[in-house]
Amino acid sequence: MELFDALFAHDVQGQALSVPWSIDYFSVVVGALTGALFACDRKLDIIGTVVLGLLTGYGGGIMRDMLMQDRGVYFTSHPDLIVICIVICVFVFYFRGLFRHLDATVFFADALSVGLFALAGASKAFANGEGFVLSVILGGITAVGGGAMRDICVGETPGIFQQSNFYAVAGLGGSFVFVTLAYAGCPLPIAGVACVFAVTFLRYWSVYFDWRTASEADLTPHVARGVGKVRRVAAGVFLHGGDATARQRRLPRLLRRHAAGGRAREGGRRRGGGDEGRVGRKGFDEPLRSDVAVSSDALRARERVVGDGVGADEGASSREDRSCD
């Protein structure tokens, strides 16, 4: 408990969470380190590396303090930390090869610094009585504001605005956890630990399971189908259209069956050729009078041929009978 109390001092009267200077320094230094590595990947010079490192480490806190119109700005309150960040950026610029095999370590430190930034922003807003919503928003801005300013300075769309693993979502989630627990009466040290854990947990799980924020989403077709179903149900219930609704539901199926049967008969007539092909082209629901007439003439001609054949057979048989006589 003594070590825990040393890490987090809880002021019950002011409802403020005092974070030790070492933790604040750690979060700013890690932000400067990641900003310097980002500048080295973009082939910037020593000035660009130092500036991007300072922006990444201090950008979120500067935006928070400007929005809160607080009397003290964290960036100007600790000049010794500025010197430490500049030294680290220069070291990264000239010895960048040392960090090529420390990707996992740098990622863990970055996720931890995002959690600490979210805690710093949310706790300061909560202590100044900014309210639930603004405390969560200011915590998220503090967590990701430096990275957004860094991307803007190199002419890129900020990563928090693109489809990516949870970064801004993690910061907002941690801030929400802290503010919720604080308003619920939970001790602020426990709320602070939960905030950092939630941010780190969301960050790691989003990368492990490849959870990404969506870049495109259109719910209009789904909503339209739902509205259509509700409309049909309402018509059947309130407008006494149950039978009509059922017929409307059966009508598309009947039309599809009718069309399928028509296509099948039309295909058969086309394969058969002749008069059936003409009937198929004209339509199976509307017979042609000319075809009916042709069929009638063919039937009468067939009857005459059959009658003549029968008469010829009878004449031949009578002649045979007379010859026999």
Which pLDDT band holds residue 294 (cuts at 50, 70, 90)?
very low
Q: Copy the structure tokens of residue 212.
A: 């990404």
For residues 100 and 107, what is the distance between their CA atoms, to the nearest angstrom?
Answer: 12
Q: Copy the structure tokens of residue 200.
A: 């780190």
For residues 137 and 239, what is the distance between their CA atoms, to the nearest angstrom?
Answer: 48
CB atoms within 10 A of CB 170: 26
Mean residue pLDDT of the chain comes to 75
DSSP 230-282: HHHHHHHHHSS-HHHHHHHHHHHHHHHHHHHHHHHHHHHHHHH-HHHHHHHHH
pTM: 0.63
For residues 116 and 278, what is the distance between their CA atoms, to the nearest angstrom?
Answer: 82
In Å, how far are 51, 295, 314, 323 from 319, measured between CA atoms?
A: 128, 36, 9, 6
Between 324 and 140, the more confident residue is: 140
Between 158 and 3, the more confident residue is: 158
Q: Is the pLDDT of residue 123 over 80?
A: yes
Which pLDDT band holds residue 113 (cuts at 50, 70, 90)?
confident
Q: Which amino acid is at 183?
A: Y
55-68 pLDDT, tens digit per residue, is 999 998 888 888 88
Between 77 and 253, the more confident residue is: 77
Long-range contacts of 257-260 (CB under 8 A, 24+ apart): none
CB atoms within 10 A of CB 222: 9
DSSP class of residue 99 equals: G
Between 299 and 189, the more confident residue is: 189
Query: What was the pLDDT predicted at 255?
Result: 63
Q: Copy the structure tokens of residue 143.
A: 């967590």
Tokens 């509205």, located at residue:
227
252-284 pLDDT, tens digit per residue, is 665 666 666 666 676 666 665 555 444 444 444
Q: Where are the domains of the chain?
A: 2-208, 241-286
Which pLDDT band holds residue 5 (cuts at 50, 70, 90)?
very low
143-191 pLDDT, tens digit per residue, is 999 889 998 998 888 888 888 788 889 999 999 999 999 988 888 888 8
Query: What was the pLDDT predicted at 256?
Result: 64
Where does the chain have alpha helices with state H? 2-7, 21-41, 46-68, 74-77, 79-94, 103-127, 132-153, 168-183, 188-208, 220-238, 242-272, 274-282, 289-324
CB atoms within 10 A of CB 95: 9
For residues 213 and 208, what is the distance between their CA atoms, to the nearest angstrom?
Answer: 14
For helices 132-153 and 21-41, angle between their N-to-C axes, nearest 10 degrees: 30
Query: What was the pLDDT predicted at 245?
Result: 52
Tokens 């949870």, located at residue:
166
Question: Per-residue pLDDT averaged across 108-133, rounded?
Answer: 87
Q: Which amino acid is at 97?
A: G
For residues 288 and 286, what is the distance between their CA atoms, to the nearest angstrom?
Answer: 7
240 sits in the region (left: phi over 0; alpha: psi -120 to 50; else beta) called left
